[in-house]
Amino acid sequence: MDAIPEIKPGQSIALLKELHILTRDGKMNQDSRRKLKQVYHLYHFIEPLLKEVQQDHPGIQLVDHGAGKSYLGFLLYDLFFKTLNNTSHIYGIETRDELVKKSQSLAESLGFLGMTFLNLSVAASMESEHLPEKVDVVTALHACNTATDDAIHFALKKQAQFIVLVPCCQAEVAAVLNKNKGKALAKSALTELWRHPLHTREFGSLVTNVLRCLQLEAHGYQVSVTELVGWEHSMKNELIIASYKNLPRKRPAERLNEVLQTLGLEEMSQRFFTSP
């Protein structure tokens, strides 16, 4: 059995209680230990990215899309940002106003002055005057369906150095595969991969993430895909990390278009665009 992570030195006990990781009397149950283990595991991937940004400039601008209750944003701030004393800032983007208000109130009560929460869709955030023109890190954990793609578009527009994604609810590609299934079945034996409805859903999810990786590579990013160990309770445990390296774009762009054409997904080319 894996060791259960303990609270790190300097962490805010008040925050951990507000996030219900600790009980009011400072205890931790098994479910809370699991949540904390998950966050620490994800932080293990994100911390080196933050340090790499710092090598270029001290102030880090991070935008967390589909923030929800902002577990990730608060713990990133508590573990890394709160001691920086510079222009570093975390922006939490969430469409549910009650969660935005609650998070903003919690940030103020904890003295986390470098946190801002905005009631916006991911798409609307691209034009918002409340966000900087350029950001360093974009995160999107379980942003449902097309919100993950909107987060990618946001990151590309804002010239993010790093993008961290845990995709969720990828139904759109599966719907297009299903719609075109009849005419595709006669074309290639490969269509057997998604002939049955369950396979359509699973294959659609896989293809969605493959297309996202190719899209990021077609914009000069180096992409790594791994599994979030410790998230066994969720089927959505794929972690995509993209680092901008100004890599050659032509081949991944060609491959992306080939995949779209091969699978009969040409109508989705705007979602997985390859030009700025």
- Does residue 275 lie in a domain region? yes
In a domain, 106, yes or no: no
| Residue-range definition of the domain harbouring residue 215 | 170-276
Tell me the per-residue pLDDT of 23-44, one tens digit each, with 9 for 90 and over: 777 788 777 777 788 778 889 9
Token pair for residue 173? Answer: 């590609």
Question: How big is the chain, counted in residues?
Answer: 276
| β-pairing verdict for 162-168 and 137-144 | parallel
Instruction: Tell me, yes or no, whether 162 lies in a domain.
Output: no
Cβ–Cβ under 8 Å, residues 81 and 90? yes
147 has pLDDT over 70: yes
Strand segments, DSSP code E, in 110-161 are 115-119, 137-144
pLDDT for 234 equals 52
Q: Is residue 233 part of a domain?
A: yes
Phi, then psi, of 14 in degrees rounded to 5: -60, -40
Sign of the four-CA dihedral 171, 173, 176, 178: negative
Position 104 in a domain: no
230 or 13, greater pLDDT:
13
Which residue carries 């979602």 as its tokens?
A: 271
State which of 110-124, 140-154, 170-184 shows the largest mean pLDDT: 110-124
In a domain, 209, yes or no: yes
- Report if residue 239 sits inside a domain: yes
Confidence (pTM) = 0.91
pLDDT reported for residue 20: 83
If phi over 0 gives left and psi between -120 and 50 gives alpha, with beta otherwise, what is residue 206? alpha
How many structural domains compose the chain?
1
Residue 235 lies in a domain: yes
